[in-house]
């Protein structure tokens, strides 16, 4: 395996786990850096890219965009705030992810990576989850208030599910995509070890099969 994709529930500790995993392997981590790369390629502010990161455009914008596409003005360039949207983001994300996969030795977090790379035999797909109370507590330990933590846990994954449904036509999480699904409340280090050991087992089995 030369690529690891990590899909995750919000608040289960994925940023820390992914960083530890990438460091152990000496591989490149594509998480926030992926959003930064999109902003650079699209020549937009990083805040614009973050607004489109694994979430749908607001309903008002989607309705307006439908109108624009159907009007005689559809050939005119949109204003800068409207020119970059989730459709643009997804197309660029696919390019960056597929390019990263060609180079290999990378850990890619979210952004539809397991869907874009589902046919690659050198990709190992992981889904991380945790009990709600664990996720809330972990977010509070990072500085969120209890109210904010609970709201984030309850809403961010809904946005991710809607994003996956629209752009990939699948329910989220799609369990058939993953080699491994792990409850992160077992501890970050144990999660990292489990991923590495499982990936090594799959590699050995593939070697025997060949």
Q: Minimal CA–CA distance to 17: which of 126, 123, 94?
A: 126
Over residues 128-180, the pLDDT tens digits come to: 999 999 999 999 999 999 999 999 999 999 988 988 888 899 999 999 999 99
Residues 167 and 90 sit within 8 Å (Cβ to Cβ): yes
Q: Minimal CA–CA distance to 1: which of 113, 106, 109?
A: 106
Q: Mean per-residue pLDDT for 103-126?
A: 95
Residues 115 and 170 sit within 8 Å (Cβ to Cβ): yes
Residues 128 and 198 sit within 8 Å (Cβ to Cβ): no
Residues 55 and 86 sit within 8 Å (Cβ to Cβ): yes
Residues of the chain above pLDDT 70, percent: 85
Q: What is the pLDDT of residue 104?
A: 94
Confidence tier at 58 by pLDDT (50, 70, 90):
low
Q: Mean per-residue pLDDT for 28-48?
A: 85
Give rounded-to-5 percent helix, strand, coil for the chain.
Answer: 60, 10, 30
């Amino acid at each position: 395996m030369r690529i690891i994709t990590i899909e995750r529930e919000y608040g289960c500790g994925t940023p820390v786990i992914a960083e530890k995993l990438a460091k152990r392997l000496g591989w490149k981590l594509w998480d926030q850096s992926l959003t930064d790369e999109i902003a650079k390629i699209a020549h937009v502010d990083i805040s614009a890219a973050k607004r489109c990161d694994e979430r749908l455009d607001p309903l008002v914008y989607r309705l307006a965009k439908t109108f624009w596409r159907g009007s005689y003005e559809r050939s005119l360039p949109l204003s800068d705030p409207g020119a970059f949207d989730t459709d643009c983001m997804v197309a660029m994300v696919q390019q960056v992810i597929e390019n990263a996969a060609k180079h290999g030795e990378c850990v890619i977090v979210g952004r539809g990576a397991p869907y874009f790379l589902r046919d690659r035999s050198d990709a190992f797909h992981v889904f991380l989850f945790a009990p709600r109370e664990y996720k809330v507590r972990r977010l509070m330990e990072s500085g969120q208030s209890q109210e904010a933590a609970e709201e984030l846990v309850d809403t961010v994954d809904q946005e991710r599910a809607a994003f996956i449904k629209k752009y990939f036509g699948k329910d989220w999480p799609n369990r058939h995509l993953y080699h491994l699904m792990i409850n992160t409340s077992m501890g970050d280090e144990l999660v990292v070890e489990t991923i590495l050991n499982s990936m090594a087992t799959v590699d050995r089995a593939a070697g025997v099969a060949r």
